[in-house]
A and B are shown apart, each in its own frame.
Chain A
Amino acid sequence: MENLERIIAEHPFFEGLDSEFTKLMVSCASNVRFKTGTYILKEGDPANTFYLIREGNVAVEVFAPQRKPIIVATLSVGELLGWSWLLPPFQWKFNARAIHDVRAIALDGKCLRTKCEENHDLGYAVLKRFAQIMEQRLEATRLQLLDVYSVSR
């Protein structure tokens, strides 16, 4: 537990988080590993977990009928995977696959949602961090959509 607490506190996503909040989160956390090629989460499945990546790379993919899946982003060490656990309907919108062996901390979304409801200060601290990630990824997605390297530009 002590080890998990340290890992969570040292992960860039939770950098600077009040140690009391980190302690609260430890009971929702566990160590997980995924072999190369394994799907960590699948579109449409219940979203009850998120992951703090400690090692390896993850491809975030969209399934397209009669096509190969399209990788829309990759996530690596120090990054966070998954926020669908935070908002209804609590279902994954994308697939995530381990490109290289992944080691991560899994945080139980249901457990954390309950703790956030009970402790709104924790809820606000967590939400602020997720909002920042969402903002960064939205900006990156907009840039990606601009297709800046195409010939027509």
Chain B
Amino acid sequence: MTVTPQSAVDPMLTHPCVLRAVTKETPDTFTLTVESDIGEGGSSFAPGQFSMLWVFGVGELPISISGDPAKHNQLVYTVRSVGQATHALVSQAVGNSVGVRGPFGTGWPTDGARGKDIIIVAGGIGLAPLRPVVYHALSNRKEYGRLVILYGARSPRELLYRKELAAWARNPETQVLVTVDYGGLGWRGHVGVVTTLFKYARLQPTHSVAMVCGPEIMMRFVTRELETHGLRREDIYLSMERNMKCAVGFCGHCQYGPYFICKDGPVFRYEQMRPLLEKYEL
């Protein structure tokens, strides 16, 4: 079951938050840390949820929360600079204010996964909304079985959180497998798409929950691979992405079949998404 926490504040009200740090992850991707009192007295978000970030005078963007859910006084976002608004966002100076609405949407099934292995499959920037799950699972290690992380990126320089990936791999009962589509000569890791990592993964398919985030094409192939390896459809979850504007299901911009990605998602059970993923019109 996915988590659907409710925001205590007016969902349309932008909350000004001070930008405390900007870290360059890759040539075009940055991680922003903002100070937040949204979660005072409890966790500010559920892993998998997103916020609407407002760059004053430029526009508003839906960005997944990529930080540690146990850190209540801050929100962390990993943003790829691909357009005017994202470029403006990552170019903000530390100390500036950024508008934050949310958090919104459903989260990953961290409660439903208790006692089971967690299989995380991420592609490119898709690792960002899954990082809170990793933090949560590692801080509550005894509550979960094995943690298997399969991560693919375009090239070594486009890998997110490289130091953390190495650190996660040192944890007990944690397997981290990383691959790139194009490796340079200096790269001594794996080259190939993320689905080629499955043959090295130590999986217990009937005792696992899989959480997948990345480009839709990748997710289609990954779900196929998970099923081939014996994962049940009801144990597979996907994070979907569409053009989200209001974030509360009013405007309809992010409608995907019978669902609003912002309100009913972004995390869905694979069973819900499967018929839609096969529709050319969507």
Contact = CB atoms under 8 A, between A and B. Distances in A.
Contacts of B184: 68, 71
A144 B187 contact: no
> What class of interface size applies to chain B in its complex with A?
20 to 34
B82 interface: yes
Interface string B217-252: 110010000000000000000000000000000000
B172 interface: no
A99 B184 CA distance: 12
A99 to B, nearest CB: 5
A96 to B, nearest CB: 12
A52 to B, nearest CB: 14
B191 interface: yes
A74 B183 contact: yes
A78 B189 contact: no
A59 B158 contact: no
A3 to B, nearest CB: 25
**Residue in B184, B193, B221 with the greatest tally of chain A CB atoms within 10 Å:** B193
Interface residues of A, number: 26
A151 interface: yes
Contacts of A151: 28, 80, 82
B158 A149 contact: yes
B188 A144 contact: no
A149 B181 contact: yes
B39 interface: no
Interface string B172-198: 000000000111110111111101100
A147 B218 CA distance: 10
A149 B154 contact: yes
A68 B185 contact: yes
A1 interface: no
A72 B185 contact: no
Nearest to B158: A149
Nearest to B182: A70
A114 interface: no
B11 to A, nearest CB: 30
Interface in B191-207: 191-193, 195-196, 199-200
B183 A144 contact: no
A69 B189 contact: no
Given A146-B217, A149-B154, A149-B158, A71 B185 contact: yes
Contacts of B218: 143, 148
B153 A149 contact: yes
Interface in A100-144: 100, 139-140, 143-144
7 contacts: A71-B185, A76-B190, A140-B195, A143-B195, A144-B192, A148-B123, A148-B218
Interface of B: 28, 80, 82, 123-125, 152-154, 158, 181-185, 187-193, 195-196, 199-200, 214-215, 217-218, 221
Pick the 7 closest A-B CB pairs, nearest first: A149-B124, A148-B215, A149-B154, A71-B183, A143-B193, A74-B191, A71-B191
